[in-house]
Structure 1
Amino acid sequence: MRNLTLWYSVAGAALMAHAQAHAEDSRAPENENGILVAASRAPSIRLADYTGSALVITAEQLEQRQTRDIADVLRDVPGVAVAGVAGQTQIRLRGSEANHVLVLVDGIEVSDPFAGEFDIGTLQAEVGARVEVLRGPQSALYGPDAIGGVIVYESASGRSVPGFAARIEGGTQGTINGALRYGAAGDTWDAALSAVAVSTDGQPNARGGVRDIGRDSYTLSGKGNIEVADGLTLRAAARFIRTEGQFNDQDFNAANPTFGFVIDSPGSRFVNDAAYALIGVRAETLEGRWTHDLSAQVADITRDTFGAFGPSNSSEGNRIKASYVTAFRLADAHNLTFATDYEQEGFRNTTPGGFAFTGRREIEQVGFVGEYRYSGEVFDLSAALRHDINDRFADATTFRFGAGYRVTDTTRLRAAAGSGVKNPGFFELFGFVDGRFIGNDALRPEKSTGWEVGIDQDIGDAARLSVTWFDSELEGEIFTAFPPPAFIATPGNRATTSQQRGIEVSLAARIGPQWSLDAAYSYLDAEEDDREEVRRPEHIASMALTWSAPDDAASATLVVRHNGAALDDAFTDPSFVPVRVQLNDYTLVNLNARARLAEGISAFARVENLLGKEYEQVFSFVSPGRSAVVGVEARF
């Protein structure tokens, strides 16, 4: 893998130079678990006032679980299914498709416009970051791409996590990871810069294969705010992610016994670059009761794959988006918000060889949002309505309504209903690559409606149990057909209705002064055309048990994650019509520990897949086995 010696030498020197420095408390504020960034288009609201289903993974929890890939910790969220292979990790909320989930990073929409979804495997955890997950349709707030929900990643600001932090770790499979961060703040400004590198030689991912599938990922990011006048604040955020790695192809030689299976493919590799930026200005008037926020953001993503004989598949996608949000607090409990979004997405298939159209296509969209929220001591109410005008598809109107009622001081009931829409993507409309997939420019958007009811129950002062039942329907789901005699794949809209329903349970508890427990369970029944959907286990569960020594001198966390059996499509028939196969259930055990060596200096170690479980998240792609790392970090 790429040589990182110089990078780590600099970080190591910084660690040694400040080995006795005083460490600032870099954990996020105590109330971060009670704030939701994305639950409203207005300023953040309290989790206790939210009428839907949401979960926040705090900076402290990310640290306790020694999270490096955000995709891993999302497995601890009820209703979330994760499935990944080299070069693409997908997330599904409540049985939705991967491209039905909106991902925001520091307020920026980060999905690849060409592919229609975000590779969550490229998102690395930074010091002080937090994650929130809103489950259920959010199109009334954010438009297309949010049928299943919204995942928000917020890096720490220079004010919330000031000072310097560095981390270095190394371990099995040639793993060398590291991170650097610096945050600072003044009376009217704050700024933060961060760099993260992840490098591993990897392990084989083909059944019986011997070729290691490695990866290098680099992230540079920055964000800041400055108050230029009383009540007037400018902000900016930028991020660059580069991911390089190997992958294996499937065997499409019908004469081979491994036809349709993943096989060792020397020379196959990928390079993905993603650049994002946002600028915004916020003004407060009427003593902060009336706010105005204007922002503009850009995203530019390129994906290139290479085979043994050179470039094999490439794409470009970019997005320009502008938003204006005005919010007015009518009284302490009443809030009214209006928003306007303009978005232009561009796509280009740059695959060489002349097998596909390589011209540029664009889609423009304008959305108008109206939102009302009431937050009382006993009763909470929310309502949102959005109308989208699209230059290619029919206009769409989506809604979301919710209510919450505090039956007692320890019991709260909530219910919500909403609708969502998802526009077809570039390759679905226009096809790609070598003629095995023909686009369908007559596709229409998918439409979803659903509802949920839930209860949040406090158990004493130390635990909270949440249970939610949800039910939704998806009309016009886009599927792939293989009509004879050529059996060439082409997409279409289902005439039948797809169903997703299930139960989500989460528990957060403090077990004495030194122990904490977070647990989650999901039951899902997802069907498309009366058949079980692929890569959506009926049962998913997780548990994270953490012990912390007095004065935080040491800690240890045990994480257990279970994925039930699921179905997948295997292309093992020469017609390329998929054959349904079962992916076996699996349970992964991770164990980590940390000890303070000196003020501001800690050593840590972890073992992932402690039991060495062999499992597949996608048919015939073998997932990583046991791995271990040790490292040291400094904060001051």
Structure 2
Amino acid sequence: MRNFAFLCSVAGAALVWGVPASAQDTNAQDDGEKIVIADFRLPPEILVSASRDGSLERDSFTGSVTVITTSQLEARQTRDIADVLRDVPGVAVAGVAGQTQIRLRGSEANHVLVLVDGIEVSDPFAGEFDIGTLAADIGARVEVLRGPQSALYGPDAIGGVIAYETASGSSLSGLAARLEGGTQGTVNGAARYGAYGNGWDASLSAVVVSTDGQPNARNGVRDIGRDSYTLAGKASLDVAEGFALRAAARFIRTEGLFNDSDFNAANPTFGFVIDSPGTRFTNEAIYALVGARAEALEGRWTHDLSVQLADITRDTFGPFGRSNSSKGDRFKASYVSAFKIAEAHKVTFAADYEVEGFRNTTPGGFAFNGRREIETVGFVGEYRYTGEAFDFSAALRHDINDLFRDATTFRVGAGYRLTDTTRIRAAAGSGVKNPGFFELYGFVDGRFIGNAALRPEKSTGWEAGLDQQLGDNASVAVTYFDSELDGEIFTTFPPPTFIATPANRTTTSQQRGVEVSLNARIADQWSLDAAYSYLDAEENGVREVRRPRHIASAALTWTAPDDAASATLVVRHNGQARDVAFTDPSFVPVRVSLDDYTLVNLNARAKLTDSLDVFARVDNLLGENYEQVFSFVSPGRSAMVGIEARF
């Protein structure tokens, strides 16, 4: 959300926009232990987020997708999902205490739809999800769809979709646990239990992340720590032949410290982040989903009905008590019916009913504390053709909103296999994003006033790509993309008061670029993932902030015979970028530069027994001093050691 500063510190203007990060794509499949290059002979991998019925094979998808497998999460010792997303082409991650944002292909953070076990997890108040609160469960996987997906999911997916899936009881049964500790007083733990039987499946997981942190102000000494707790579970039950029930739930609570910006015009640090004793935040979220699925005509016709809930509370505190608070909630019901006309043809109809609500619970009486809500009904039609060499897909969606004009979005794509190892693909689509509650009605005394007259942002874009298999041990993907955004919502500071307020731009924002990724098995024990992304993102000819033109990454993994040990080296380069700073007393933003930086991470793992591993890692091995957001110093070097057991 462009106005994070007002949520965390009653200060200034839009704070966290993003920092494009290094990239990596892969055609790897997950065999449960190690990465195996897809060679067109393995069983097809199913994408859960690329179609509304969740049955699309990855090799038939006509857009750009990256799947981060369980093995990859384990090999990189991922603890925060935000970290591993930095290895996906086109993904920008920018984090400060209390809010970590993601952007796809130069889009805004609230243009990315995040699904966790099928549940939409964005905060209705902010219009986006704090990806920094998503801890990695043991056995999880991630799908990242790049490009407009509003035709499938509605007004939240201009940039794409990130779908996080926890493991089922059957895919990872038994008990698994890990415990680690290290520098900055960090102690992390995770546990998971999965079980299954004749017609039923269940899993339960818990993750705790705790650290004293490091200073994040220039020349600061105050450590910015946090404690995060996650409890999640899901289950399914086959009630009768062709009829099944399912449920999923997740609870997340994060408590942490943050620093304010200095807005005393008499100080030389005006506009910079400074140590701010007594400032802290708590974020708490509850998510739940229940669903039923029925099959008819020997499985050719499926019906799926689901209901999901989200309840998110955010509080920030200053030296004198609670300073900012909000509550957001969502109720969503969906019906999806898919019919396979013939072996190669499938049509899908979906209907969504959604009510999002918001209350500004900030104390003091200067803001409206009543409930506001927006109701939306959406209808989706989707057609897919999957042939021997040619794949085609088309989707059309119409949204009826009680506050904004109705919106119709589309997506169309095609792929063609020139040979067994060469496939070309192209896709085009449109997207829409409605203003969020904070942009419409948010209020911070003397700092920010919402704008109820805002109109939705609209986007159109296209892409063309080539997927090439290089023998049995390597693959390369090249994609060019181009999109335009009309009516972009930005923060303006009109005189004479210079109080921040959002508005729609009258000019066009354009994002175009190239994504290149390589996945290779160099030798029996060595694998390499590498990527390079070029992004040209401009608003009316002016370069957009926190969007480097050049980002790159490489991950080199060594695995000992019989998987007795492994080590992974990850190098991520982030090019120079523009940013804005509020160092002028008028609060009119000043454009500054963020230096390029290169991060090096190294980890290793050794197997003690069939069920017991020890591991260690060092992040930011070279101690790079860098900023993802102006004057917010990012974490320096850290080291961890731990143990993991599976029974």
2:330 counterpart of 1:325: no
2:433 counterpart of 1:417: no
SS in structure 2 at match of 1:511:
strand
SS in structure 2 at match of 1:173:
coil
Q: What is residue 145 of structure 1 aligned with on the other side?
A: 156
Give the deviation of 1:86 after TM superposition.
0.4
The one-letter code of the counterpart of 1:152 is A
**Distance in structure 1 (CA, Å) of the matches to 2:462 and 2:587:** 37
Aligned residues of 1:28 and 1:160 also touching (Cα < 8 A): no
Q: State which of 353, 359, 363 in structure 2 corresponds to 1:348.
A: 359
Q: What is residue 621 of structure 1 aligned with on the other side?
A: 632
Aligned residues of 1:130 and 1:153 also touching (Cα < 8 A): yes
Aligned residues of 1:519 and 1:544 also touching (Cα < 8 A): yes
Q: What is residue 453 of structure 1 aligned with on the other side?
A: 464
1:289-304 superposed matches below 5 A: 289-304=300-315
2:538 counterpart of 1:543: no
**Distance in structure 2 (CA, Å) of the matches to 1:28 and 1:622:** 35
- TM-score, scaled to structure 2: 0.93
**Distance in structure 2 (CA, Å) of the matches to 1:478 and 1:632:** 47
**Distance in structure 1 (CA, Å) of the matches to 2:54 and 2:512:** 31
Aligned residues of 2:47 and 2:54 also touching (Cα < 8 A): no
Q: What is residue 399 of structure 2 aligned with on the other side?
A: 388
Q: What is residue 66 of structure 1 aligned with on the other side?
A: 77
2:238 counterpart of 1:249: no
Q: State which of 590, 593, 597 in structure 2 corresponds to 1:582.
A: 593
1:93-112 superposed matches below 5 A: 93-112=104-123
2:194 counterpart of 1:180: no
Aligned residues of 2:383 and 2:394 also touching (Cα < 8 A): yes
**Distance in structure 2 (CA, Å) of the matches to 1:33 and 1:527:** 39
Q: What is residue 532 of structure 1 aligned with on the other side?
A: 543
Give the deviation of 1:346 after TM superposition.
0.1
2:482 counterpart of 1:466: no
Q: What is residue 63 of structure 2 aligned with on the other side?
A: 52
1:243-282 superposed matches below 5 A: 243-282=254-293
2:642 counterpart of 1:631: yes
Give the deviation of 1:438 after TM superposition.
1.5
Give the deviation of 1:175 after TM superposition.
0.4
**Distance in structure 2 (CA, Å) of the matches to 1:409 and 1:96:** 34
2:407 counterpart of 1:399: no
SS in structure 2 at match of 1:428:
helix
Aligned residues of 2:334 and 2:353 also touching (Cα < 8 A): yes
**Distance in structure 1 (CA, Å) of the matches to 2:302 and 2:34:** 26
1:77-156 superposed matches below 5 A: 77-156=88-167
2:191 counterpart of 1:195: no
The one-letter code of the counterpart of 2:342 is A
Aligned residues of 2:32 and 2:71 also touching (Cα < 8 A): no
**Distance in structure 2 (CA, Å) of the matches to 1:358 and 1:136:** 37
**Distance in structure 2 (CA, Å) of the matches to 1:33 and 1:608:** 35
Aligned residues of 1:355 and 1:435 also touching (Cα < 8 A): no
SS in structure 1 at match of 2:72:
helix
- TM-score, scaled to structure 1: 0.95
Q: State which of 298, 316, 320 in structure 2 corresponds to 1:309.
A: 320
Per-residue deviation, residues 508-531 of structure 1 (Å, max 9, x unmatched): 111111111111211101112321
Aligned residues of 2:64 and 2:145 also touching (Cα < 8 A): yes
Per-residue deviation, residues 260-280 of structure 1 (Å, max 9, x unmatched): 000000010000000000000
Give the deviation of 1:32 after TM superposition.
8.8
**Distance in structure 1 (CA, Å) of the matches to 2:205 and 2:448:** 41
**Distance in structure 2 (CA, Å) of the matches to 1:26 and 1:371:** 33
Give the deviation of 1:355 after TM superposition.
2.4
SS in structure 2 at match of 1:61:
helix
**Distance in structure 2 (CA, Å) of the matches to 1:43 and 1:136:** 18
Greater than 3 Å deviation, 4+ residue runs: 25-33
Per-residue deviation, residues 432-453 of structure 1 (Å, max 9, x unmatched): 2213211111111000000000
Aligned residues of 1:316 and 1:347 also touching (Cα < 8 A): yes
Q: What are the ranges of 5 or more consecutive residues in structure 1 without an aligned counterpart?
A: 1-24
Q: What is residue 6 of structure 1 aligned with on the other side?
A: none
Per-residue deviation, residues 269-313 of structure 1 (Å, max 9, x unmatched): 000000000000000111100000000000000000001111111
Per-residue deviation, residues 593-618 of structure 1 (Å, max 9, x unmatched): 00011120000000000000000000
The one-letter code of the counterpart of 1:359 is G
**Distance in structure 1 (CA, Å) of the matches to 2:297 and 2:113:** 33
1:448-597 superposed matches below 5 A: 448-597=459-608
Aligned residues of 1:81 and 1:537 also touching (Cα < 8 A): no
Q: What is residue 19 of structure 1 aligned with on the other side?
A: none
Give the deviation of 1:207 after TM superposition.
0.2
Per-residue deviation, residues 471-521 of structure 1 (Å, max 9, x unmatched): 000011111111111111111111111100000111111111111111121
Q: State which of 379, 385, 391 in structure 2 corresponds to 1:368.
A: 379
Give the deviation of 1:43 after TM superposition.
2.8
Aligned residues of 1:356 and 1:435 also touching (Cα < 8 A): no
Per-residue deviation, residues 364-403 of structure 1 (Å, max 9, x unmatched): 0000000000011100000000000000000000000000
Per-residue deviation, residues 102-129 of structure 1 (Å, max 9, x unmatched): 0000000000000000000000111110
**Distance in structure 2 (CA, Å) of the matches to 1:335 and 1:542:** 38
**Distance in structure 1 (CA, Å) of the matches to 2:483 and 2:548:** 17
Give the deviation of 1:28 after TM superposition.
9.3
SS in structure 2 at match of 1:330:
strand
Q: What is residue 358 of structure 1 aligned with on the other side?
A: 369
Per-residue deviation, residues 308-343 of structure 1 (Å, max 9, x unmatched): 111111110000000000000111111100000000
The one-letter code of the counterpart of 2:644 is E
Per-residue deviation, residues 559-592 of structure 1 (Å, max 9, x unmatched): 1111111111111000111111111111100000
SS in structure 1 at match of 2:83:
helix
**Distance in structure 2 (CA, Å) of the matches to 1:383 and 1:151:** 20
Aligned residues of 1:26 and 1:162 also touching (Cα < 8 A): no
**Distance in structure 2 (CA, Å) of the matches to 1:391 and 1:329:** 34
**Distance in structure 2 (CA, Å) of the matches to 1:68 and 1:477:** 34
Give the deviation of 1:44 after TM superposition.
2.3
SS in structure 1 at match of 2:444:
coil
Q: State which of 592, 616, 634 in structure 2 corresponds to 1:605.
A: 616
How many residue pairs get matched? 612
Give the deviation of 1:63 after TM superposition.
0.2
Q: What are the ranges of 5 or more consecutive residues in structure 2 without an aligned counterpart?
A: 1-30, 37-41
Aligned residues of 1:324 and 1:340 also touching (Cα < 8 A): yes
Q: State which of 210, 215, 239 in structure 1 corresponds to 2:250.
A: 239
SS in structure 2 at match of 1:337:
strand
The one-letter code of the counterpart of 1:596 is K
Please give the root-mean-square deviation of Cα atoms over the aligned residues, in Å.
1.2
**Distance in structure 2 (CA, Å) of the matches to 1:439 and 1:426:** 9
SS in structure 2 at match of 1:156:
coil
Give the deviation of 1:26 after TM superposition.
5.5
Aligned residues of 2:63 and 2:425 also touching (Cα < 8 A): yes
Q: What is residue 16 of structure 2 aligned with on the other side?
A: none
2:301 counterpart of 1:285: no
Per-residue deviation, residues 522-547 of structure 1 (Å, max 9, x unmatched): 11011123211111111111111111
Q: Say if 1:318 and 1:305 are closer, same or farther in 2 by CA, change over 3 A.
A: same
Give the deviation of 1:29 after TM superposition.
10
